[in-house]
Every structure is written in structure tokens, then in C-alpha cells.
Amino acid sequence: MDPARILVVGATGYTGSLVARELAAGDAPFVLAGRDPRKLERLAASLSGASTTVVDVTRPDTLKRLLRSGDVVVSCAGPFLELGEPVVRACVEAGAHYMDTTGEQRFMKQVVERWDGPAREVGVTVVNAMAFEYALGDAAAELAALGLARPLRLVELIYGWRGGAAATSRGTRASILRILAAPGLAYRNGTWVPERAARRRTVLELPDGSRRPAITLPTGEIVTVPRHMEVREVRGWAVTGGPTARAAALLSPALPHLVRWLLPLLDRWARGGAPGPTRAQRESGEFEIVARATGGEGGTRTVAVRGRDPYGLTAAIIVAGAGRLAGRDGASGSRPPAGVQPPVRLLPPADLRALLDDRGLRWDTL
Ligand SMILES: NC(=O)c1ccc[n+]([C@@H]2O[C@H](COP(=O)([O-])OP(=O)(O)OC[C@H]3O[C@@H](n4cnc5c(N)ncnc54)[C@H](OP(=O)(O)O)[C@@H]3O)[C@@H](O)[C@H]2O)c1
């Protein structure tokens, strides 16, 4: 039997190219897929001649005919609310496993609702957000919840960025606009309910003892965490400056309409400029992801993950996940079951930490 191949869709993009470089440093067979043959050629040449193939996800047959049962598709072609679903469909129909770098919560919920059943039926694994957002937060939440009584009262995910760690690529900016335009989701009383970004603002006490303004954010863990632990409420927060928090909360009711109305204009801004931050920029600041869990009988545990270079980490995380799905990391026995799975089911916290050991991440339990 041929070994499972890893096929990178959207390989010519900012994140896809980092994923391609990460794969080129390993020994798994991989194919770079994109819609522009010249860009593919240039990328392959920079990687000493990787295999390439032309795929346009708006014409899913161009993908489906390439796929073999057991292949692993890594999709970096976003925005996912626009481009993501045909790739998931092609994978499930061809019997190929699927992973992506999406940060779009609504897309993640849509994939669970539409594709969990079909993926289970054909025996393929689908994992959204195998990326900086939200594999680290999903793992941190699992660690924070250890030993607490279930159902948990609350799990909170708090995102903070300093300096270059907040720098975004064109694709990320385009996806953020879709996140703001779509009605977000909160998880309360054991169910998902619509809630727009910045619906609430507060002042949070952070692990270093500082008190910082924050606004609610429709993060992906709101979709993933209730799928791997019993919990009544999951909240996502972004730490911001005070004026930003006040302005965002004030604009929040109008934000989805405003973004939808101005989308062509905002998209031009999002897709302008450099494709993404330079490596030096990415490494010039620090992010912090705090997961705080409160047990059913009280008691709170906090796990903080700190590091640099969210895009470099994304490439490392998704390539590690692809290796496991392709059965190449010597741990095929722990391959997750079929269906749409949260990131922790593919890479449990201990494995994720071990695989990212050399990436300068710090995990602290408080
Ligand atoms: N969750 C996280 O932490 C995280 C981290 C990194 C990235 N992301 C997400 O990953 C996505 C990609 O980001 P990026 O910065 O790499 O964006 P990007 O540079 O704009 O790349 C997008 C890629 O999609 C390809 N594409 C667009 N339309 C296509 C089509 N019809 N058929 C095939 N390919 C198509 C583009 O091809 P061309 O090169 O031909 O334009 C490009 O390769 C975004 O949604 C971003 O939010 C998330």
C-alpha cells in the first residue's frame, strides 16, 4: 500500500508556505496544491523541487480527483467561511483525512454540524483549527480542568498579544473581517447561543497580577471545549487597551452590519500590503493564552501558555498533526477516532507540548 500523502491546499499563501517549509524539513511525502501554477513553481523551486498540483477549491473536482483514501489534506486556503467547505466535502467523499488552520468560529461550528456524521460513516478524521488559534487554547483548557469536578461551571480563554506577536497576514485580516461580520457564538447553560464580538467588556486579573481591560471574543474554543469536557459555560476574551475596549463595546451592536456593508472596502485594506509579518516581526513580541477553569464544586485552576511567532507555531502544529494522521510519528495507535474532532483529540496536551518542545513555549499551571 502507498504511504499516506500529505496534500497542502493553499500552499502558496503566507501560512501555506510556512507549512510547506516545515514539511520540506521532514521526511513525509507531501504535495503542494494551489490555484496558480507559476506561484507553485516558484515555491517548489525554493524547496528544492517539491511535488505540486493545481487545485482550485471553487472547482472541488480539481481536488477530489487527486485524493486517495487515507491521504491527509492540510488546508490553509481561507477565508474558510468562503473557501473551506468544498475542501471538507471533497475529503470526506474521497475518504481522506482533513485538517485546517481556520480561526473562524462559525466555520468550525458549521463543520461539526454538517460533517461529523458523514466523516464518521466513512471513517475519516476532520480537525479544524490545528493552529496557534485554537490548538494551544484547547490543550490549555484541558490541562486547567484536570482534577476539577464536572460539569465545570466555567472555562475562560484569555488572549493577549504584545508587539509583533499581534502582526497579521493578509489572509488573517480577511478572516477577521468574516468573523466580525458573522454572528458569533457563546456557550452558556450547556448550549451554543448567538453572541457578537465585544458584547461584553470587563477588567480581568491576569496571572502576573496585572488588571487589564478585555472584551468578549467568539473564539474557537467555545466550539471545541464543550466537545471534550462537560462544562456549562465557555467564554473567550481578548485583552485590549481601555479605549479600544470601550470603543469595541460601543460599536458591538452595529459591528456585524457595518462590516458586512463595508466589506468590499475593508477587504481591499485587508488584502493590501505585505503578505504577512517578517520572521523578525513575528518573534519581536509575546503572546499569552490563559485558560481558567472553575469546577462544579468551586475551585479554579489556571494554565498560561506564553510564546512567540504564532505563524511559525501554526506551521509546526499542523505538520505535527498531519504526521500523526498519516501514521508517521510512531504513535498511530493514538490516532483519533473518525468524525469532526477537537484539536486535543489529535494532539493531547502532553504530545503537543513534546512536539513543540523546541519552539520556546512556556506552560505554567497556577
Ligand atoms: N488559526 C490560526 O492561528 C491561524 C494562523 C495562520 C493562518 N490562519 C488562517 O489561515 C488562512 C490563510 O492565511 P494566510 O495568511 O496564509 O492567507 P493568504 O496568504 O491569503 O493565503 C490564502 C491561500 O489560499 C489560496 N486560495 C485562495 N483562493 C483559492 C482557491 N479558489 N483555490 C485554491 N486556493 C485558493 C491562495 O492562493 P493564491 O496564492 O493563488 O492567492 C493562498 O494560497 C486564513 O484564513 C487565516 O486566518 C489561522
Ligand 1 centroid distance, CA of 200 (Å)? 30
What percent of the chain shows pLDDT beyond 70?
98
Residue 244 falls inside a structural domain: yes
Which run of H or E residues covers position 23?
helix 14-24
Give the separation between CA 26 and CA 30, rounded to whole angstroms. Answer: 10
29: Cβ contacts below 8 Å, ≥ 6 apart? 3, 5, 6
Residue 1 falls inside a structural domain: no
CA-proximal residue: ligand 1, atom 46 (nearest): 172
Same domain, 142 and 56: no
Ligand 1 centroid distance, CA of 243 (Å)? 31
Ligand 1 centroid distance, CA of 90 (Å)? 18
Q: Residue 277: which of 354, 171, 149, 206 has the closest Cα?
A: 171
The pLDDT of residue 3 is above 90 = no
Atom of ligand 1 nearest to the CA of 132: 3
Query: Which pLDDT value is given to residue 176?
Result: 94
Ligand 1 centroid distance, CA of 11 (Å)? 8
Q: Tell if the pTM clears 0.95, that is, is over it.
A: yes
Which SS3 state, helix, strand or coil, does residue 49 take? Answer: coil
Same domain, 159 and 90: no
> How do strand 154-162 and strand 30-34 relate by DSSP bridges?
unpaired
Residue 362 falls inside a structural domain: no
**Distance of alpha carbon 220 from its chain centroid, rounded?**
7
The pLDDT of residue 224 is above 70 = yes
What percent of the chain shows pLDDT beyond 90?
91
Residue 320 falls inside a structural domain: yes
Same domain, 283 and 138: yes
Residue 28 falls inside a structural domain: yes
Q: Average pLDDT in the 226-254 region? A: 95
Query: Which pLDDT value is given to residue 336?
Result: 86
> pLDDT tens across 76-133, in order?
999 999 999 999 999 999 999 999 999 999 999 999 999 999 999 999 999 999 999 9
Same domain, 306 and 336: no
Atom of ligand 1 nearest to the CA of 11: 43
Residues lining ligand 1, Cβ inside 6 A:
10, 12-16, 34-36, 39, 55-58, 76-80, 83, 101, 103, 129, 131-133, 169-172, 175, 275-276, 310-311, 314
Query: Which pLDDT value is given to residue 294?
Result: 98
> pLDDT tens across 251-298, in order?
999 999 999 999 999 999 999 989 999 999 999 989 999 999 999 999
CATH number at residue 177: 3.30.360.10
Same domain, 160 and 297: yes
Residue 23 falls inside a structural domain: yes
Positive/negative CA dihedral, 123, 129, 135, 137? negative
Same domain, 144 and 245: yes
The pLDDT of residue 64 is above 80 = yes
Same domain, 297 and 243: yes
The pLDDT of residue 332 is above 60 = no
Query: Which pLDDT value is given to residue 331?
Result: 63
Number of domains making up the chain: 2
Residues of the domain holding 352: 6-130+311-357
Residue finishing a domain among 310, 326, 341 = 310
